[in-house]
Structure 1
Amino acid sequence: MTGRIDPIQVLLLGLAGLAAFLGLWFGLTASGIVPNLFLPTPVEVFDRFTTLLDRRFAGATLPEHLAASFMRFAYGFLLAAVIGVPLGLLMGWFRLLDEIVSPIFDGLRFIAPIAWVPFAALWFGTGIGGPIMIIFAGAFPPCVINAYRGAKFVDPRLIEAANMLGTPNRRVITEILLPASVPSIISGLRVSAGLGWQSLVGAELIVASRGVGYMMVQGQANVSTTTVMAGMIAIGLVGLALDSALRLAERLILRRRGLET
């Protein structure tokens, strides 16, 4: 099915889906099937969410917890991008490097980021290093894989022309390989950001003394389901904002390159 999608129609369908979800939620709480202690109403969760915006819980307000979480995420995500993207490009260009790194990388990338939590706790305690390590573990593989794929699918005619002209490898990588791989790299960064953000929250549930994950753990300890659910909503909203920003960047880059469909 082709054709331009009507944004108004998309908005209405999204609102209809949200209304159906809230209706189901209200129905479950009204039926009494699930006790209110474990499933509060949407109104109670929203009220708790707004309260946490300016009232401290577990040592900070919700924006302060989010700021601490986002700082950890930014460090881990940027570290993954700065190391992963160049590594992926170099692996796609230099076969020897690919053969050396791929067996190690392919083994490590299947280890769930949360599996690194014990090491993070032992090595860094509750400091910032532990969560950054876990975020890096989640965000690093997509950066490498998509940069690698971008390098592998560069038009071979461009490479052949550069080789015929005696272009040095450094210039081929920076002036041909990197620009041609940008759409794939941006797609990888979108996946990387999502996995990194999810990994952060998992890390904060165990290795943190401040952050939205830590706030949720304290909410659970205090049997405050509304606090836990308010934290979940905050996590979802920040994740949506991150993905929307990267999706916009991807669309702008594809439009500039004439590749947008």
Structure 2
Amino acid sequence: MEERPLYLTSTLLYGFAGLVVFFGVWFVLPTTGLVPVQFLPSPITVAERVATLTTNRFAGATLPAHIAYSFTRFISGFALAALIGIPLGLLMGWFRIVDEIAGPIFDGLRFIAPIAWVPFAALWFGTGIGGPIMIIFAGAFPPCVINAYRGARQVDPRLIEAAEMLGTSDMRMMTNILLPASVPSIVAGLRVAAGLGWQSLVGAELIVASTGVGFMMVQAQANVATSTVMSGMVAIGIVGLLIDIILRWGEAAIRRRRGLNA
């Protein structure tokens, strides 16, 4: 019982030490002139710029507004990927014919990097919301399908045999047995999908958007405003971390509820 608190304490100390080293090196490089301030502002300069951007507009909006635009696109693409990918993965895992029909197509498409869809998104949607959503979908869709498929294939055969003996229909089998048993794997897939979707969004906004954090960074780069570019990077990292923490918490809660190792 005493080992876990000690382990957590050492983990926190090591993490804190890593942050101190990281920010220390970052502070020293521009301060000593080893790297020009124009290309690497100090952490203090970036923090001040973040504070300024929370109230002052840049590229048509404040930083919180750009984050809101980005997050709206992310939620739309991520939700679409989950709503289509999870049922498809369960169907592929349960029905062999669906797996044989959809499997080869999915295996071919999932190796196409989300950023490769940018030209099509630009042609089809221009700078509207549809382009980024399409690219987020391309990034988040494969993990949703793969983990739902894996969860369906790993269901306890005894549960399936018992349901079959009772004459359970395929639809009830999926909703009452397959889906509940696959939830831990599905949630783990959603966490991966969220990370890939958020990364894909930023790449999309660099090219096919007129608002959002990525668009703000492009405008800042064109004006050689490095502190603004890095402010956008900080915002991207913090929001991505918060998304992962929420999904990680949900995954751990579900695993604890089911008596699995968190």
- Taking structure 2 as the reference length, the TM-score comes to 0.97
Structure 2 match to 1:182: 183
Matches within 5 A, 1:114-129: 114-129=115-130
Q: Distance in 1 between matches of 2:57 and 2:11?
A: 38
1:13 to partner: Cα distance: 2.0
Structure 2 match to 1:49: 50
Q: Counterpart of 2:114 in structure 1: which amino acid?
A: P
1:83 to partner: Cα distance: 0.3
Q: Distance in 1 between matches of 2:256 and 2:93?
A: 25
1:172 aligns with 2:151: no
Q: Counterpart of 2:25 in structure 1: which amino acid?
A: L
Structure 2 match to 1:196: 197
Matches within 5 A, 1:1-261: 4=4, 6-261=7-262
Q: Counterpart of 1:115 in structure 2: which amino acid?
A: A
Q: Distance in 1 between matches of 2:137 and 2:240?
A: 17
Q: Counterpart of 2:73 in structure 1: which amino acid?
A: R
1:33 to partner: Cα distance: 2.3
1:203 to partner: Cα distance: 0.1
Q: Alignment partner of 2:133: what SS?
A: helix
Q: Distance in 1 between matches of 2:28 and 2:227?
A: 17
1:23 to partner: Cα distance: 0.8
Q: Counterpart of 2:4 in structure 1: which amino acid?
A: R
1:16 to partner: Cα distance: 1.1
Unaligned runs of 5+ in 1: none
1:29 to partner: Cα distance: 1.4
CA deviations 1:128-167 (Å, max 9, x no partner) are 0000000000000000000000000111111111111111
Unaligned runs of 5+ in 2: none
- Taking structure 1 as the reference length, the TM-score comes to 0.97
Q: Distance in 1 between matches of 2:101 and 2:249?
A: 36
Q: Alignment partner of 2:155: what SS?
A: coil
**Matched positions, count:** 260
1:112 to partner: Cα distance: 0.4
CA deviations 1:174-205 (Å, max 9, x no partner) are 11100110000000000000000000000000
1:9 to partner: Cα distance: 3.1
Q: Counterpart of 1:25 in structure 2: which amino acid?
A: W
Q: Distance in 1 between matches of 2:31 and 2:232?
A: 23
Q: Distance in 2 between matches of 1:238 and 1:4?
A: 29
Q: Alignment partner of 2:128: what SS?
A: coil
Q: Alignment partner of 1:139: what SS?
A: helix
Q: Alignment partner of 1:4: what SS?
A: helix
Q: Counterpart of 1:241 in structure 2: which amino acid?
A: L
Question: Percent of aligned pairs with the same residue?
Answer: 71
1:8 to partner: Cα distance: 3.4
Q: Counterpart of 1:125 in structure 2: which amino acid?
A: G
Q: Distance in 2 between matches of 1:38 and 1:4?
A: 43
1:14 to partner: Cα distance: 1.6
Q: Distance in 2 between matches of 1:231 and 1:11?
A: 27
